[in-house]
A and B are shown apart, each in its own frame.
Chain A
Amino acid sequence: MSLKQTAGHSHTPDSPAVRLEGLTKTFAGGVAAVRALSLSIERGYVFGLLGPNGSGKTTTMRMMLGLVRPTAGRAYIFGQQVSPGHQVLRRVGVLVERPGFVPYFSGRRNLETFWRAGGQSLDEADIEGALRVAGLGDAIDRRAGDYSKGMQQRLGLAQALLNRPDLLVLDEPTVGLDPQEVREVRTLIRDIAERGSTVILSSHVLAEVEQLCSHVAVLDHGRLAASGALSDLTQAGSSVYIEVDDIEQAAAVLGRLPGVAAVSREAPGLSITLDGLERAAVVSALTQHGVGVRTITARQRLEDAFVQALSDEPQ
């Protein structure tokens, strides 16, 4: 696990998409939501922000966008220090926590008035692209206040894409969507990333983060517990995945083997958590009992890395 530290800042075109320097937020009443968070998110990353409820993810995003005043520290977007209403935000698309609309306007009118509020003409907005993303059909001309949660979420995503953002900040973007819509949103995020935009994604669905993100940071009690490339985090643990010719026999053997903490089915093989045992000893034990080993790979799922990061973090 690598902790990416930041130092200094520049305003060159090569600046990271986002850099946080000692970002801290203590709310009234002394509640410390974010503590001295330093983080650098390079351009083109699809960056997952993980953490249990109350870990400071949303507050971090809000400070990044100038919505919440940091108690200490600074946030930079594309090398420019963010302050409320800073013009660099024109390059950012946002869907944080919940979408927000004027309830008595239609979906289309909401998109148009939201855009016009920024002082730009509709010609400069990607209205057609946003409507395609929203995928609301005729409902786009109905009152937004009557939309289902899923429809509101899709309209919120569409709104975030109106400015063809270089940086997209999404907080739980698939909440409230049905499985088909979830798949569409994930495909959309991949497409946006492939176009070269940076995406920051907060999600409770670790499988979603695993599928989409190139890099992740784990927050716990407002602190950075871990950060790095997803591949580094998921390869570094003590889990192995094994495929054998007799899965029942293998499970029985491994279940009795000292140094194996847990065995679970993960079709078509088994996922094994080792407790001090070498992989070679696993293969040896299985072959001694007549079980043929087809493949064995060291592996740690994001969930394991996530739990590990939280357990490593001093409270």
Chain B
Amino acid sequence: MIRVEFYKQVHRVRTYVLLFIIAAFPALLTLIFRVARPAPPASAEHAGDDLGFIVLASSSGLNMAIATLGHAGDVILPIVGVILAGSAVAEEANWGTLGYLLVRPVSRRRLVASKLLVISALMVAATALAVLFAVADGVVAFGWQAVETPAGATIPAGAALARIAMATPYIAWSLAGVISLGFFVSSVSSSSLNGAAAAFGLAAVSQILNSLPVLGDARYVLPTHYWRAWESLLVSPAKWSDMAIGAAVQLPYVIVFLALTWWFFKRRDIVS
């Protein structure tokens, strides 16, 4: 079943459209910075600046990559995730193939597990590709130099690349809560849009709430609050605490949504 799921994903146009978006976004952003060539400000001026790495994007290839990854992680990768998760089970129901798979027979547990595993693998691959494209485009456009941090520190290029690599699995995992909701809604629906809309809605609402200081500490439990926590690896010295908390915050979302998925899907009447 896992092989069949991979086969289905590899042989569909949608996968390549998503791949194109993942590749095109860093290229586009890098091109804009390359053409506009904004002068990098003195690092000291931007200590603690909310704009963070984006204003330092043209300082070096890896600075460009970090700036690109920030936006990819906030928008592009979540879009990829909600599309994959929202359609996972619902599109089988929509095509009329779900019932035939279950009578083949593929057990409900195996079907859910296979789809979840394939989505997870694709999201890890999508994140890795986003990092790869961001780094490659950045280095081609702005060269291989040390990274300048918003606090004014400098990190050697090799060390910075290693930290970006370490951030990659975190970026992928930080989307898990939102994606789990999409997967849950997909498992009880016959329309791919429902799961995608629910997951995207959660991400959007969470982002908006996260921007409201009036919510105070309550923002720390929002699923998107720690999406950029990986950037704390790119200060000197690197800080791991935000990433650890961010990773932990995803857990209850994942556990609750996947438990709901299993509870409802196990009892779902397949009538289409």
Contact = CB atoms under 8 A, between A and B. Distances in A.
Interface of A: 27, 59, 62, 65-69, 84-87, 89-90, 92, 94, 96, 98-105, 109, 113-119, 159
Contacts of B98: 100
Of B100, B101, B102, chain A has the most CB atoms within 10 Å of the CB of B100
A85 B105 contact: yes
Contact of A100 (B8, B13, B97, B110): B97
B265 to A, nearest CB: 10
Contacts of B4: 113, 116-117
A67 B96 contact: no
Contacts of B97: 100-102, 114
B24 interface: no
Q: Which 5 A-B residue pairs are closest in the complex by CB-CB distance?
A: A100-B96, A85-B107, A100-B97, A67-B270, A118-B104
Where chain A touches its partner, the secondary structure class is: loop
Nearest to A145: B95
Interface of B: 1, 3-4, 7-8, 11-13, 95-110, 266-267, 269-271
A27 B269 contact: yes
Given A96-B99, A113-B7, A90 B269 contact: no
Given A67-B269, A113-B8, A89 B99 contact: no
Contacts of B271: 59, 62, 67-68
Given A67-B270, A116-B4, A103 B104 contact: no
A27 B270 CA distance: 12
A92 B12 contact: no
Given A66-B103, A100-B96, A114-B104, 11 more contacts: A62-B270, A67-B270, A84-B102, A84-B108, A85-B109, A101-B97, A105-B11, A114-B100, A116-B3, A117-B1, A119-B1
A83 to B, nearest CB: 10
Contact of B103 (A94, A105, A109, A113): A94
Contacts of A113: 4, 7-8
A115 B110 CA distance: 15
A167 B242 CA distance: 59
A68 B269 CA distance: 4
Contacts of B105: 66, 84-87, 89-90, 118
30 contacts: A59-B271, A62-B269, A66-B102, A67-B103, A67-B269, A67-B271, A84-B102, A84-B105, A84-B107, A84-B108, A85-B102, A85-B105, A87-B105, A89-B104, A90-B105, A92-B103, A94-B103, A98-B96, A100-B97, A100-B99, A101-B96, A102-B95, A103-B95, A104-B12, A104-B13, A114-B101, A114-B104, A116-B3, A117-B106, A118-B104
Nearest to A115: B104
Contacts of B106: 85, 117-118
